[in-house]
């Protein structure tokens, strides 16, 4: 979940400046697990491939302070669309579909807003695009912002989790063998049942 930070002219240049600057992990208020969130500062994000977003931000290249939810309560689905092995699967991401995930996103965005407006950060950018104090202070408006801007953090995992025999979500056994099929194993991050974060 990004906060788009509009840089001063000559700053945040793709290809010149390092892309990722820092990451801070934290625990959302009331979270069931520690270190369930991250703030990640990206020093440039090229918005030219998404003209509508570039127009909304008022800049083609921005920095971003991203709020990452590492322990979502909600889960997506990867489903076969047909028996044809060449047919693409049906992917349902279901980002922020659970109320607890949305609550933590709102808390994380409000923390990121405070960080971006702190004296040390505020002077390093022209403004924050697409958000203002009225949106940040309104649960309903900030929820709409989440639904509009939520995306993946590239932790593609958990689509074929392993587990014990009586776990209905465990497609694989403890040796990563696909249940119900002979001679087929899965050996990538899709076997991870949870996001590594500590």
Give Cα separations from 145 to 36, 150, 181 (angstroms): 21, 8, 44
The catalytically annotated residue of 8, 75, 149, 155 is 155
Give Cα separations from 126 to 13, 113, 121, 134, 152 (angstroms): 15, 14, 10, 19, 26
Give the separation between CA 142 and CA 66, rounded to whole angstroms.
15
Give the separation between CA 116 and CA 129, rounded to whole angstroms.
11
Which residues, at least 6 apart from 125, have a Cβ–Cβ distance to it below 8 Å? 5, 6, 7, 8, 63, 116
Determine which helix (DSSP H) or strand (DSSP E) holds 114, and give its type and residue range.
helix 99-117
Which residues, at least 6 apart from 123, have a Cβ–Cβ distance to it below 8 Å? none
Active site residue 155: yes
Q: Which residues are catalytic?
A: 155
């Amino acid at each position: 979940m990004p906060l788009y930070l509009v840089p001063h002219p000559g700053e945040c240049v793709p290809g010149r400046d390092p892309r990722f600057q820092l990451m801070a992990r934290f625990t959302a208020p009331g979270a069931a697990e520690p270190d369930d969130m991250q703030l990640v500062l990206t020093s440039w994000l090229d918005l030219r491939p998404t003209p509508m977003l570039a127009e909304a931000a008022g800049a083609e290249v921005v920095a971003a302070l991203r709020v990452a939810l590492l322990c979502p309560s909600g889960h997506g689905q990867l489903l076969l669309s047909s028996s044809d092995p060449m047919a693409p699967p049906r992917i349902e991401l279901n980002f922020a579909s659970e109320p607890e995930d949305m609550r933590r996103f709102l808390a994380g965005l409000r923390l990121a807003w405070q960080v971006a407006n702190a004296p040390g950060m505020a002077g390093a950018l022209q403004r924050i695009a697409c958000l203002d104090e009225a949106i940040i202070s309104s649960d309903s408006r900030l929820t709409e912002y989440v639904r509009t801007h939520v995306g993946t953090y590239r932790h593609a995992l958990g689509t074929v989790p392993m587990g014990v025999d009586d776990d209905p979500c465990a497609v694989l056994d403890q040796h990563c063998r696909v249940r119900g099929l002979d001679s087929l194993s899965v050996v990538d991050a899709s076997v991870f049942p949870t996001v590594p974060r500590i």
